[in-house]
Amino acid sequence: MPDTMIPSIRYDHIGVEERLGAHNYRPLDVVLTRGQGVWVWDVDGNRYLDCLAGYSAVNQGHCHPRIREALVEQSGRLTLTSRAFRNDQFAPYLEELCALTRSHMVLPTNTGAEAVETAIKAVRKWGYEVRGVPEGAAEIIVCAENFHGRTIAVIGFSSDAETRGGFGPFAPGFRVVPFGDAAALEAAINANTVGVLIEPIQGEAGVIIPPPGYLRAVRDLCTRHGLTLVLDEIQTGLGRTGRLLAEEHEGIEADVTLVGKALSGGFYPVSAVLSNTAVLGVLQPGQHGSTFGGNPLACAVARAALRVLVEEDMIGNAERIGAYLAAGLRGIAGDRVKDVRGRGLMLAVELEAEAGGARRYCEALRSAGLLCKDTHGHTIRVSPPLVITREQADWALERIGAVLTGPTPDPDP
């Protein structure tokens, strides 16, 4: 019977995507179909250890059963009302998120970029109404090599030519200073400065960690000059660095904190602007909104995602396994590795220029069963879900070591 059966027609996922999809991404040629914990499987049944975790969106691991249960249960009751009406998931979500993050007020959004845009609007309005800056003159200080999203306002203050090129004109009102340089930041402050927007760790730039004391110095500068400190913790927050928020490594608190990605455990777009009442308190009905922001399905999913993060000690695991994985990466022999850096399970391996670029090594790692992401030409990001075990870390280290010390992989076509 099997010899006479008509063979199934294989669907050309990659070909159709290349033909019909906009070419704004350059993914590795692997077509994933399911995931569980740290593992994902492709349509051919091959298993991979996910070492990107959706840029922290899947901190809790793929398809966490408790989050999935919350999603399924709520989707059968009520999914969307818009904020024109109240729903029974919103208030508990606000209460639990504020209690966990020590925030005073929340503005619910859907994506990281939307949270950043919302913060920019709120901080500007606060600058006009509270700080007394002349209308239309507010300035926000940002850092070079930042990544805060892809919207027009955000890319306008990017220092990445590829991100900016061909998309202007851009919105004014931003001053760019070097990341990690508190003196340069202080020199950029003037009478129209209303806030500072930075990432505690620059993830997309290659997991760049500022010098010790930098965040504390920025916090002190903002306090002294009466500015709003906005920390973009969309990638660093909710456990990724071995703390709930990366700001905790220097014992500071931002005036506005942006969270997203892991806020839903990868099940649904959920983000939030966390703030004290002095900043978000300036917004009045009709001045800002979002049809899906704060919808009951998002709130139910986020509540479950936060619970498992804490109750299953994923934050502590990120600290322990992150330190173990970092030590293992630093122990890889050979002359291709220039630097290993990171905090918690937000790690990066920077290769020497002579190694030939990180993309070819990510392709080789894919063939070895690991999915990593190259960035800025020579850097490999290694950021698995926070549920990774020591045994799984050893499995990954064995393969990463073999690829980085083995024959030079062929260049990516």
Q: Is residue 326 part of a domain?
A: yes
CB 371 within 8 A of CB 49: yes
Strands (E), 294-384: 337-343, 346-351, 370-371, 373-375, 379-382
Q: What distance, in Å, lies between the first and last C-alpha atoms of the chain?
A: 41
Domain boundary among 311, 334, 352: 311
The residues, ordered by sequence, that sit 6+ positions from 212 with a Cβ below 8 Å of its Cβ are 250
Residue 214 to residue 140: CA distance in whole angstroms: 18
368/328 same-domain check: yes
Q: What integer pLDDT is reported at residue 1 of this predicted model? A: 33
Residue 308 to residue 63: CA distance in whole angstroms: 12
State the helix-helix crossing angle for 65-75 and 296-311, rounded to 10 degrees: 160
Q: What integer pLDDT is reported at residue 367 of this predicted model? A: 97
Residue 323 to residue 103: CA distance in whole angstroms: 29
333/301 same-domain check: no
Sign of CA dihedral 361, 28, 394, 307: positive
247/317 same-domain check: no
Burial of residue 12, with CB atoms counted within 10 A of its CB: 0-12 exposed, 13-18 middle, 19 or more buried: exposed
185/255 same-domain check: yes
Catalytic positions: 147, 232, 261
Q: What integer pLDDT is reported at residue 412 of this predicted model? A: 67
**Closest to 309 (Cα-Cα) out of 66, 127, 120, 110:** 66
Burial of residue 236, with CB atoms counted within 10 A of its CB: 0-12 exposed, 13-18 middle, 19 or more buried: buried
Q: Is residue 250 part of a domain?
A: yes
CB 13 within 8 A of CB 359: no
88/175 same-domain check: yes
**Closest to 246 (Cα-Cα) out of 185, 160, 163, 322:** 322
305/243 same-domain check: yes
Q: Is residue 240 part of a domain?
A: yes
Residue 169: asked if its preceding bond is cis (omega within 30°), the reply is yes
Strands 39-42 and 32-36, sheet pairing? antiparallel
221/357 same-domain check: no
141/53 same-domain check: no
Residue 372 to residue 52: CA distance in whole angstroms: 6
**Token pair for residue 15?**
């070909």
Question: In this structure, what is the dihedral angle of CA atoms 58, 60, 63, 64, given to the nearest 10 degrees?
Answer: -170
74-99 CB burial, b ≥16 within 10 A, e <16: beeeeeebebeeebebbeebbeebee
| DSSP structure class, residue 37 | B
Domain boundary among 247, 279, 311: 311
Domain boundary among 311, 346, 371: 311
CB 152 within 8 A of CB 171: yes
Strands 271-275 and 256-259, sheet pairing? antiparallel
Q: What integer pLDDT is reported at residue 192 of this predicted model? A: 98
Q: What integer pLDDT is reported at residue 9 of this predicted model? A: 66
Number of domains in the chain: 2
Q: What is the CATH number of the domain that holds 364?
A: 3.90.1150.10
User: Where do runs of H (alpha helix) occur along 165-313?
Assistant: 182-188, 214-225, 277-280, 296-311
240/120 same-domain check: yes
Q: What integer pLDDT is reported at residue 413 of this predicted model? A: 62
Q: What is the pLDDT along the chain (413 residues), one digit of tens a residue?
A: 333 434 446 899 999 999 999 999 999 999 999 999 999 999 999 999 999 999 999 999 999 999 999 999 999 999 999 999 999 999 999 999 999 999 999 999 999 999 999 999 999 999 999 999 999 999 999 999 999 999 999 999 999 988 999 999 999 999 999 999 999 999 999 999 999 999 999 999 999 999 999 999 999 999 999 999 999 999 999 999 999 999 999 999 999 999 999 999 999 999 999 998 899 999 999 999 999 999 999 999 999 999 999 999 999 999 999 999 999 999 998 899 999 999 999 999 999 999 999 999 999 999 999 999 999 999 999 999 999 999 999 999 999 999 999 999 988 66
203/340 same-domain check: no
Domain that holds residue 380: 2-63+313-405
Q: What is the CATH number of the domain that holds 93?
A: 3.40.640.10
Q: Is residue 411 part of a domain?
A: no
Whole-model pTM: value is 0.95
Q: Is residue 382 part of a domain?
A: yes
Q: Is residue 256 part of a domain?
A: yes
Strands 379-382 and 346-351, sheet pairing? antiparallel
Q: Is residue 380 part of a domain?
A: yes
47/71 same-domain check: no
**Closest to 157 (Cα-Cα) out of 136, 134, 141:** 141
Q: Is residue 412 part of a domain?
A: no
200/237 same-domain check: yes
